Structures are given as structure tokens and as C-alpha cells.
Amino acid sequence: MRFTLLLCVLASTLAQAQQSSMSSPAQSSSQPEESSSSAAPADSVPSVVKLASQKVTIPAARIPLTTLDGKEVHLGDFDAKVVVVSLWGTISRDNSFLAQLEMLRQSYKGKKDVVILAINVDLPRNADDVQVIRDVAKEMGATYPMLIDKELKLLALVNEKLRPTEMERNTFLIPRFLLFTQKFEKMEQPPMPTAEDEAGQVKELRNEIEKVRLRKK
């Protein structure tokens, strides 16, 4: 399946994730599992689904985001020739791709035409929820900008463009890797890496980024 992650946000699933967060900290594994923490409570699931399905009427560059310190920013503030965006949520324990993003960032160190971003879609309600995101970022060694899709407008835009028509209404896509170009007017999803080792996966992703980066337009 081309999409990297398909999350079902039924109330019962998120309720189980919250219970699990009380007994174990966020951690990573090689396969997606039930989340160890979730910022979206069971009673907010209908709102989450509604936000993820909203019609976005503003340009992608104007989508509002926040930093982990609460600063208001927009996606367009991080413009470059290629902007690599990873959407993620703590409902999944498979956070290893955040470490891969750091490897990518290091490989493009000094290159100003490639920007790496990770954007969380947890809808954190308080400082404790934000701290969970901060802890995962620290565990994965992330030094690139870690942002929050506070209104799920970016998630909604991605689903509007990539979501298969046959998907159920209570599910939505959270792609791990997206490539934005032309001042966020164009969005592409690179194919899933096929290598078994992390270095090989990063190399494959970098090759896809280079194809986009070296385009004349």
C-alpha cells in the first residue's frame, strides 16, 4: 500500500491508547503498534475526524502551525526549493522515521534549498501533552523544526489530495513523508523505501528528494 500509515480513530481505539499511556512511556519499534500516549481523548474523536475532513480554503503556505514553545507560525515560513514534511502522531509507537529525518537533515547540512519539518497532529490540550511530543522528539534526536498542526488544516489538505474515495469516514491518512515544492503549491508523496536497514531507507528517500531538487522547475 502506497500510504505509509492509515489510522483508525474510533473512540474505543483512542481510549485504549490513553489507558496504555498511563502505564508506559512513548517508545519506538519497527512496526506500528497501539499508541503509548494520545493527546486526543475519546470524547473528542468526532471533532478530530471532522477537522481531518474539513475543506481547506487557504493556500498551503498560509496554514497555521505552532512551535513546541507555543509560537504562532505558518507553513510558508519554512519555504525552500524542497520541503520534506513528515506528519505524525503519538498514537503510533513507530517513531523511527523521525530519526531518519534527522539523518536526512544531517546529509543536507549547509544546503539551504532543502528543509526538513516534522508536524504533529495530536491536538495537544495542555503542557503535559506538548511535553509528550517534546520527549519523543528528544528520544529520536530531532534537531529540525518540530511543529504542531493546531487546527489539522494541513492534515485535512493532505487527505483532500491523497485520500482514496473508498476510505471509511472514521479514518484518515497520516503520511510519513511528503515533498512540497513551488512555494507549497505542489505536493508529492515519494514511494515507500524498500530497503530493510535504516541507512538504506534514508538513501532511497534522499534519492527521491534529489530527483525533485534537481528539477529545473
Residues 146-187: pLDDT tens digits?
999 999 999 999 999 988 877 776 778 888 899 999 999 999
Residue 198 parent element (H or E): helix 198-213
Q: Does 90 or 85 have the greater pLDDT score?
A: 85
Domains of the chain listed by start with CATH number: 6-213 (3.40.30.10)
Q: What is the pLDDT of residue 53?
A: 87
Sheet holding 82-88, edge to edge: 72-74, 64-67, 146-148, 114-120, 82-88, 178-181, 186-188
**Cα 199 to Cα 26: distance, rounded to the nearest angstrom:** 23
Q: What is the mean pLDDT of residues 67-87?
A: 96
Residues 87-141: pLDDT tens digits?
999 877 788 899 999 999 999 998 999 999 999 999 999 999 999 999 999 999 9
pTM for this predicted structure: 0.77
- Dihedral sign, CA of 171, 12, 41, 135? negative
